[in-house]
Structure 1
Amino acid sequence: KTGQKASLPVFDRVSEDILVNELKKANLSVSGKTKLVDGRTGESFKEDTVVGVGYIMKLTHMVEDKTHARSTGPYSLVTQQPLGGKAQMGGQRLGEMEVWALEAHRATYTLQEMLTIKSDDIVGRARAFEAIVKGDPIPEANVPESFKVLVRELNSLGMALETIGAVIADEAQKEENEAVQSKEVVEKKL
């Protein structure tokens, strides 16, 4: 009402006495509140309301800056799993809780794909890509590289761990290479 402007740094304080004096000069209520009228009915609201410019602070975390996706990218040399983090062009991590959520929804095929082919099943990844390109059905997943790392670590501790009834990915790759070579030999003879 007085037309007087003031500037106050964000975290500085103003004494209550100064505020009360300024409100009195402007013929306003000392509480800083005023009667507010409902625009639809023309009646004033029961309670007095603080009126004025309100400032809020916001975090500047923009979704656009946070979004990250990759089709292919670098893999860890040890585990053969995608690297983590946007800066390293890494993949999205599927942690324990995400696995539990997918298990709860019985998304078994999605889980199998995420934990093998899209993670650290090197042979399976190559086979899946080849099958998709050729239009063939995607073959069964192999033993993940992280399991092989575990086996090697246990071996280094003097513990022998053998898989029973499972085909190790290296053996499966050898069998596949032999099959391809024999097929090529047959084709050359024809």
Structure 2
Amino acid sequence: MQRQAVPLSRSEKCIVGTGLERQTALDSGVSVIAEREGKIIYTDTHKIILSSNGDTISIPLVMYQRSNKNTCMHQKPQVQQGKCIKKGQILADGAATVGGELALGKNVLVAYMPWEGYNFEDAVLISERLVCEDIYTSFHIRKYEIQTHVTSQGPERITKEIPHLEAHLLRNLDRNGIVMLGS
């Protein structure tokens, strides 16, 4: 099941677990662990700066990177500026961890029952609230590449000026003909 799950935008620790959630999260390597004890000088979404025995260590955090399964990988800092930390303490959670424990889903109340035939065989009914409140929302990042070639009429170029297309069809392209972020 852990291979089939995708990290949610807001995960929760499970109420009922196996007892191996913390070890699984540590073994996955997605959490940032303190290699030394020290004091947190600075923290934000991009890095954590740690002072230890007179040395200053900058620990970069992963922000919105694509995994090999096209899911969104990011690390969330779990320590505050000015706090003292110990060796082995969790500094930042990964995409599928909360508080250093594996968190692959949400704790929801379910009913296993027939409902007017809509849950026939392997179908599952869910509340509309789960959709409206983004309970099971996850982010996916896909990589698209395009290549231009040199043709007999000259090199291809990427442009917004495409003949025979109306303006409303081109509204999501920037001036270079690339799709705008968020469209």
Structure whose alpha-carbon radius of gyration is higher: 1
Structure in which a larger fraction of residues adopt helix = 1
- TM-score, normalisation: structure 1: 0.20
